Each structure stands twice: as C-alpha cells, then as structure tokens.
Amino acid sequence: MREESFKFLQTYLNNAAPTGFESSGQKLWLDYIKPYIDDYFVDTYGTVVGVINPEAQYKVVIEAHADEIAWFVNYITAEGYIYVRRNGGSDAVIAPSKRVNIHTKNGPVKAVFGYPAIHVRKPDQDKAPTVETIFLDCGAANKQEVEEMGIHVGCVVTFDDEFWVMNEKFYVGRALDNRIGGFMIAEVARMLKENGKKLPFGLYIVNAVQEEIGLRGAEMIAHRIKPDVAVITDVTHDTQSQGYEKKTNGDLHCGRGPVLTYGPAVQNNLLNMLIDVAEKNEIPFQRAAATRATGTDTDAFAYSSEGVASALISLPLKYMHTTVETVHKDDVDSIIKLYYEFLTQLESGHDFRYLK
C-alpha cells in the first residue's frame, strides 16, 4: 500500500464516527476522495456521495457504510457513575476495563468502564457483564461534577482503541466494520483517476451513514440516486477461530480473498459477472449464502425504487464488534482490485434482467 493511502486509512479508522454522529469521519473521507471525483453531494443525515460522470444516464453505485457502534450516556448516579445504553450492536461483555471517550460539545472526556474486582465477586453468582451492570467512571465525585464536564444524557461514547498492524499481515482496530469499506471504495476512485480510466457511465461512490441500526442511510440515498446497479462492500465473519459453527456460519478465512454472497437480494447475473471478473483476473474469492436477507446495505439498495441489480462483496473479519476487529491485508487489496476490474469492463446500459 502506498504511504499516503496507509496514512489516510490510519487517520480515518482512529477517528470516532458513531452511528448518528458520522460527520467528522465523513469530512475526512470526502477530503481524501475529492481529487478523484467530478462532483459530490451529501444528504440530510450525512451520507456522502462522490460522483464521476454526473451527467450520465446509466448509474452505478459502489458503497460502504461509515458508522461505528457506540454507546449513549443514559443515566448519571448521584455518586457520579454513568450508565449507558447501546448505539448499535455494542457488546457489554468486552466493556469492563476499556478506556472510552465521552463526546461532549466541548470535546471528548476520558473515562473507563469500571467493574467490581474479581476478589469481591462471588464465583457461584458471577455472570457475564450486561448493559445493566456496566458503568462509566470519569473521575467525578458526584453528578454535578459529571455535568460540569459537559456530560449529559445523550452524549455518545466510543472506545479509545486505535488502529495497528499485526504480524505485518493483519489490520487491527475498532470500526473496521465498516470504515475499511469506505477506504476501499475511495482507493478504487483514486486508481480510476490516476490510471486515466474513462468510464462510460456515472459512478456514485457512496459512504452511507446509520447502517448499524438498520441500513437507514442506504435506504435514504438509494431512493435519491435511483441507480441501475449497486455493488456493496461490508464485512463478514471469519469462521476459523473458536466459537463458530461452520455448519451454520460457513467456512470462511481471512487471507483467502473476498466473499461473494448468494441470496434473494443478490442479483444473480450481476453476481456471475463479478465471479467472471475475479476468475479472469486471478483474484481469489470465497462463496457464502444468505437466508432471507444479507443484513447489509445490499438489501436496502436491492429493494429500493423499482428494484436495483445489487451484489455484495464481503471482507472476512475476525472478532466483529470488538475493539480488535482484524482483517488480512491481501483481502483488502483483492477487493479493491475486484471493484476496479469490474468497473473497467462494465458497459453502459448493461441489462441485468433475467428475462428480456
């Protein structure tokens, strides 16, 4: 990876952009992608769209989501302890002993998730942490002192962990789900520009908000763009470590390439084109099957307006919704290449319908 791209990835992942509060990360992303696009627009809730060939009638979307899971301040005790509720699928089990930032209008306030010491917990009554039993300690003596720090009910809270590289092979950190996707589609735009590729259609590079609470940003922007084609990238579970049942979760590996998913929301002609492109360009890939829905922004695009030919390219990831989400560098490169090769061979007006 070139040095400038790596620096952007690191900055982008370390920035906090929880669901509903994505604007700082969206600005970083837009600033990075601006040299590689012709135009851009944003919507009311913060989704950012970079556009190449905005006048073209045939519209192709490549998309990722920008938000990360987080917490909300929900209750402040008289003694100055803070109880929280989820903003997205945050995991209470990993919270104890974690450092956090409580985001206030005056800037972040440092705090920790406290928990009773092992010495005072009764082994026969010891249970996994829950949202009701975890709490924040910001060093305040009472509720008034907490409030004087600018903390109030509704302040959003993010973990303080940052991005790093493990064993020269893996990217590790919080919020790889799915800001790594935003990085990948931005790199596609950069490569198209720097390689002088002229696309015969309009390309809409979409970094959507609020996926973690129900695909909301994608729903809104799909209705606005009304694309002809949409290829979504998100993460999926590497199923090799402890706790995954391959009979139900599939047999997926970090380092063995992007995952292409079969399912009702996935348009099979589009999926088969992606497979053909991968095979022709010797890009390794894996296969997965969804049930009623993919659980990603693919569903929002597929069923928008009159129906959009949609497909999903997933990045295998270990330890989803933790602060040590882990992906393989080779898989990131392969997804960028697959997108690039797909776009450069796609013809304007291609009809993906099954029956014509």
Q: What is the pLDDT of residue 253?
A: 98
Q: Distance (Å, rounded) from C-alpha 131 to C-alpha 116?
A: 15
Q: Is the dihedral of CA 247, 338, 327, 14 positive or negative?
A: negative
Q: Distance (Å, rounded) from C-alpha 152 to C-alpha 156?
A: 9
3 annotated to a ligand binding site: no
Q: Are 331 and 254 in contact, with CB atoms under 8 Å apart?
A: yes
350 annotated to a ligand binding site: no
CATH classification number, 70-159, choose in 3.40.1500.10, 2.40.30.40, 3.40.640.10, 2.60.40.10? 2.40.30.40
Local confidence band at 83 (pLDDT 50, 70, 90 cut-offs): very high
* pLDDT higher than 90, residue 122: no
- Identified catalytic residue from 187, 211, 219, 325: 211
Structure confidence by residue, pLDDT tens digits, 37-60: 999 999 999 999 999 999 999 999
Local confidence band at 237 (pLDDT 50, 70, 90 cut-offs): very high
Structure confidence by residue, pLDDT tens digits, 320-336: 999 999 999 999 999 99
Would strands 164-166 and 170-173 be described as parallel, antiparallel, or unpaired? antiparallel
User: What would you measure as the largest C-alpha separation in the chain, in angstroms?
Assistant: 71
Structure tokens at 171: 């990217």
Is 211 noted as a catalytic residue in this protein? Answer: yes
Residue with tokens 């998730």: 113
119 annotated to a ligand binding site: no
Strand order of the β-sheet with 170-173 is: 164-166, 170-173, 325-328
Residue with tokens 């907490």: 146
Fold of 3-68+174-345: Aminopeptidase (3.40.630)
Q: What is the pLDDT of residue 304?
A: 98
Structure confidence by residue, pLDDT tens digits, 23-32: 999 999 999 9
* pLDDT higher than 90, residue 203: yes
Query: Residue ranges per domain, the chain?
Result: 3-68+174-345, 70-159
